Amino acid sequence: MKRTATHLADGRELFYFDRRDDADRGAADLRDLPPRPAASELRYDPLTEEWIAVAGHRQGRTFLPPASECPLCPSGPGNLTEVPSPDYDVVVFENRFPSFSAQPGEYPQPGGLSEVRPGIGRCEVVCFTSDHDSSFSRLSSEQVELVMEAWIDRTAELSSLPGVEQVFCFENRGSEIGITLAHPHGQIYAYPYVTPRTRLNLAAAGRYRDRTGGDLFADVLASEREAGVRVVASNEHWTAFVPAAARWPVEVHLYPHRRVPDLIGLEAAERAAFGPLYTDVLRRLDGLFDMPMPYIAAWHQAPVNTGRDLAYAHLELFSIRRAPNKLKYLAGSESAMGAFVNDVLPEETAHLLRSIVTS
């Protein structure tokens, strides 16, 4: 793998990841870009003990442009994009409209019981392929390995930045999910705090260890593999299963068989084995209703400075689609109370996904 670092016209960093050592990534960004926005505000909610990012500059971000104006495609005549090179394998760059950044700003206190601090951190975009009309499910195993190398590289570097407490790699796919760009891509957030979901998971894992002496995530995986009824697919190093208490109509978790706190800890064989299983699961999702499945794919990794002895890196994949013409909306119970009601039996979802023939 060849890694090439460069900068965009407004100073943002960009990284090319190539399979070929002779790849030429010397093209410069010739655009005239405005100054980068200041970091967002973080406002503290004393009722939930959570930090809420307020990033008003994101209202102006690019929204579903035509393919001929896609900012994630390689640059070409008449369309200078976020990627100066006329082609690429995998590319990562700082988001032009970030939720978190290191740019200084002014942060007046709002009064009351809340407080404000800078939204220091970083947000990056990961382009999985230069092919605008492709998808992650259609990537070759070699291309998925390259994407994973990019995730690992960025996880390591972002974890070392001052103030970063957690690194989150994810993909949003489909207009139903709320994507603003159709090109196959994901994002990486370097948060200045440990996210609420991670705090809940690690607290549960800590209580489980105190009570049983065991590893909660490892025991969940072992129990699902033993039960078998919710396993969708597996290989020597990974298992994909529908969790017994799935929140979403379609939900699949992918665990490595060996506990590692983050993607950095995966060995070469484990990295290589991920792609064939994951793309198989994605094709099963697309085959479930015979249409592209909107989804969120979320890597759960250990925080930078806490809970690393409890965390177990894994991927959670889920969709809001519950039928060909029906979506699962987060209505009163889910949105107001955080109390999920799933309309689909997890065992039935697993059975249907297993039954789909993938090519």
Catalytic residues: 185
DSSP 247: S
Query: Which strands make up the sheet holding 90-94, listed edge to edge?
Result: 2-7, 13-18, 90-94, 122-127, 185-191, 166-173, 295-300, 314-319, 250-256, 238-241, 231-234
Distance CA 210, CA 305 (A): 21
Q: Quick check: helix, strand or coil at residue 32?
A: coil
| Residue corresponding to tokens 């260890």 | 209
- Other C-beta atoms lying within 10 Å of the C-beta of residue 56: 9
Coil, helix or strand for 348?
A: helix
Residue at token pair 């090179």: 85
**Non-local CB neighbours of 210 within 8 Å, separated by 6+ positions:** none
Judged by DSSP in three states, 157 sits in helix
Distances (CA, A) of 151 to 92, 167, 187, 196, 205: 9, 10, 10, 22, 25
Overall residue count recorded for the chain in this entry: 359
Residues 6+ apart with CB under 8 A from 317: 251, 252, 253, 254, 281, 282, 285, 295, 296, 297, 298
Write the DSSP symbol of residue 101. B
